[in-house]
Amino acid sequence: MSDNASGQRHDRTALILYGSETGNSQDTAEELGRMAERLHFLTRVAEMDAVEIGLLLKYSVVILVVSTTGQGEFPTNARKFWKSLLRKRLLPGCLNHVPFTTFGIGDSSYSKFNWAARKLHKRLEQLGANEIYPRGEADEQHEEGIDGTFLSWSLDLKRHLLASFPLPEGVEPIPQEVLLPAKFTLRLLETTPDQDSQSEQDHQLTSISNGDSSTQHTNNNLHSTKPEPEDPTMLYLPPPEPNEPAVGPQLKDHLEDLIDPVSTLIPSCSHLPIPGGFSIELMENKRVTPLTHWQDVRLLTFRMTADEHQYEPGDVVTIFPKNFADDVQGLIDLMGWNLVADKPLKFELTGPDLLLDPYFAALPPGLYARENSTLRQLLTHNLDFTAIPKPSFFRHISHYTDDQRDKERLLEFGDSRYRDEYYDYATRPRRSILEILTDFTSVKIPFNEVASIFPVIRGRQFSICSGGLGRQVARPAHQDRKTPDEFIKVQLLVAIVKYQTVLKRIRQGLCSRYIASLQQGMHLTVKLDGTGSFYKIPDLFPEFPVIMVAAGTGVAPCRSLIWERAGVIANRDLDDDSKPVGPNVLIYGGRNKKADFFFKNEMTGTAMRTKVLTAFSRDQKEKVYVQDVIMREGKMLVELILQRGVVYVCGSSGNMPKAVRQAFLRALVEFGGPGLEKNMDNAEKCLAEMEKTGHYIQETW
């Protein structure tokens, strides 16, 4: 039990912790938090790394939600917490009387499916924590996604909590149709005459960015391609005048008769106060697929300071996309927020602070905002109203309409008993929040509650595709060569997500749309994260052979590895007695050689010291895939594996990595020699050992 500020004790407290890389675990944890609140638990939802393990003892129930990343690893925001559970000085039984359960989110195309959740659950039990409900596991490959497991698991958990923590007589769970109190709201700050004048200027600048010709002619000097200054109040500035973005349709049909909603208004690139974030400059945004090709793939080239940031193969850059000015203004108009859109705001605590916990005075998880931000800035930089909403969103906004018919429809979409209706309306046609609010025009959300209703814009991770010799020093053109600062090149290979829905509408991902419109010279705030295990073996043992299997843009981390190994060779002295760098083999798959063979010229060149084998599925009558090449070249590949070779499988998750793994098993059985030949069980043990020791690495998404 825990005490509040008044000395009162509470025996219904719930702590829901999450470890999340892409946001799925966070969404799941927040849904569990709402469930616990409706059962009258005083509830906290937080990242695992935001708490010390001793805090677990203060709650009457602890629920941990964690996804598995990479090779059975914990997400970045859960690794500190996990390490704290492994401390040797922890005594057995130190977590006695901690009632807990866990829910894992994984991808069954990985061999280490849900390993993070399983390791976490086992370790908590070793430390004496008591499982009050069996662990749940979700599979992203399920036909219904995470919900395929979560809905039934959470419903049973709810029944169990009610039985284990019965409510007092006369007290009932809070019904779904009752709005839960917000933990925080937005409030207008007191403004000075100077701030009022600035707000008027912001309104004029917004008109310019949305094509108001009456003011645009006299204010052309306000447009600039220079990066915006670091401004403590993050005042809204218009985006620079862009050229027409070169956006190609990622569709297999001719769609000239359809309206393409791509905007040419580029969001401003004000830096967000992202923990661990830093600024990089875009040198080039180049399309690398033909304009006639169905898929638009970009090679983004950035530069960053070499003395502060370094990277190695397998590392990722996180880009934080933004909403476009015309969409932001459309939402402001729809909700009637124009009078407050450009006034400075502050977050105000409204939820319970009974645990004297600093979390309750913090911003929502993942919401990076400057002090005194305006509503327009929050909608541009922080809140994702282009996302496909969860069912809870429909339940939430049903409270902001007086139209009984709209209210009933919204509650139906948010009711777990009508999942098919929700799927047909929201998920299948990929309807965004903005489109839904356009459909339900009677809904008017108060501006001060937007941060409690709209999801946060999450960063998108992209594998770095440069390295070694490809990490050439690049100085800004205007910089004096005598200055000491050096810059290194960072490149990303990004497929622009664009598709047609069942409603014959063209959709584009938020980050894809943002990336497609970025212009040379722009500065972005990004994060750089390392996986740790990707480059470990080739770095320590460069003599080991490397086999890479990549499909499409999955070639990105492979290219980085190839460049890195070429750099190791180039940087050695002639009399260096280090071990030689082993051979590289790249098995690359795509649809068409003319359109999809990324980095063809350099990959087939002698400088990269790489044997390239290709599988282009649409270039001949019978389709050929990477797994077919593995079987065809099985003898040579097995020889390299038996020389302690390291295998990488990179690209989309799902069927491809499963088929590739099966192909390697069959090759080991056919060409593995004594102990492996004609013995699938031994081949499976061999591959499992490779996975355990870091000699078989799957990097898929």
In the chain, count H helices and then E strands: 22, 23
The answer to whether the annotation marks 462 as part of a ligand binding site is yes
The per-residue pLDDT for 351 is 60
The answer to whether the annotation marks 517 as part of a ligand binding site is no
The answer to whether the annotation marks 677 as part of a ligand binding site is no
The answer to whether the annotation marks 623 as part of a ligand binding site is yes
Contacts of 12 (CB under 8 A, 6+ apart): 39, 40, 41, 42, 60, 165
106-110, 301-305, 360-364, 559-563: which has the minimum mean pLDDT?
A: 360-364
Contacts of 678 (CB under 8 A, 6+ apart): 669
Give the integer Cα–Cα distance in Å for 699 and 560: 13
Walk me through the domains of the chain, giving residue ranges and CATH numbers.
Answer: 2-164 (3.40.50.360), 186-223+322-453 (1.20.990.10), 243-320+459-530 (2.40.30.10), 536-700 (3.40.50.80)
Is residue 250 pLDDT above 50, yes or no? no
Confidence of residue 616 (pLDDT cuts 50, 70, 90): very high
Give the integer Cα–Cα distance in Å for 135 and 65: 10
Q: Write the CA distances from 386 to 174, 380, 431, 432, integer angstroms.
A: 30, 11, 8, 5
Is residue 610 pLDDT above 50, yes or no? yes
The answer to whether the annotation marks 23 as part of a ligand binding site is yes
Confidence of residue 503 (pLDDT cuts 50, 70, 90): low
The answer to whether the annotation marks 669 as part of a ligand binding site is no
Confidence of residue 418 (pLDDT cuts 50, 70, 90): confident
The answer to whether the annotation marks 311 as part of a ligand binding site is no
The per-residue pLDDT for 229 is 34
The answer to whether the annotation marks 510 as part of a ligand binding site is yes
Confidence of residue 654 (pLDDT cuts 50, 70, 90): confident
The answer to whether the annotation marks 544 as part of a ligand binding site is no
- Answer yes or no: are the C-beta atoms of 582 and 695 closer than 8 Å: no
Dihedral (Cα; 681, 538, 611, 474), 10-degree rounding? 150
The answer to whether the annotation marks 276 as part of a ligand binding site is no
Is residue 4 pLDDT above 50, yes or no? no
The answer to whether the annotation marks 130 as part of a ligand binding site is no
The answer to whether the annotation marks 565 as part of a ligand binding site is no
The per-residue pLDDT for 224 is 31
* Average pLDDT estimate for 658-671: 94
The answer to whether the annotation marks 430 as part of a ligand binding site is yes
The answer to whether the annotation marks 4 as part of a ligand binding site is no
The answer to whether the annotation marks 281 as part of a ligand binding site is no
Confidence of residue 598 (pLDDT cuts 50, 70, 90): very high
Confidence of residue 474 (pLDDT cuts 50, 70, 90): low
**Neighbour tally for 172: CB within 10 Å:** 9
Residues in the chain: 701
The per-residue pLDDT for 244 is 32
The answer to whether the annotation marks 432 as part of a ligand binding site is no
The answer to whether the annotation marks 442 as part of a ligand binding site is no
The answer to whether the annotation marks 401 as part of a ligand binding site is no
Give the integer Cα–Cα distance in Å for 658 and 630: 13
The answer to whether the annotation marks 330 as part of a ligand binding site is no
The per-residue pLDDT for 607 is 65
The answer to whether the annotation marks 543 as part of a ligand binding site is no
Model's pTM, two decimal places?
A: 0.81
pLDDT in tens, 136-193: 999 888 888 888 899 899 999 999 999 999 999 999 999 887 888 887 788 998 755 4
The answer to whether the annotation marks 69 as part of a ligand binding site is yes
pLDDT in tens, 305-364: 877 678 999 999 999 999 999 999 999 999 999 999 999 998 887 765 544 455 544 566
Percent over 90 (pLDDT), the chain: 52
Q: Return the closest-CA partner of residue 558 out of 443, 470, 445, 671.
A: 470
Is residue 254 pLDDT above 60, yes or no? no
The per-residue pLDDT for 124 is 95
Q: Order the strands of the 646-651 sheet from edge to edge.
A: 610-616, 584-590, 546-551, 646-651, 696-700
- Name the range with the highest mean pLDDT among 40-44, 242-246, 318-322, 350-354: 318-322
The per-residue pLDDT for 271 is 58
The answer to whether the annotation marks 140 as part of a ligand binding site is yes
Give the integer Cα–Cα distance in Å for 245 and 268: 15
The per-residue pLDDT for 562 is 94
The answer to whether the annotation marks 244 as part of a ligand binding site is no
Average pLDDT, the chain: 82
The answer to whether the annotation marks 111 as part of a ligand binding site is yes
The per-residue pLDDT for 647 is 97
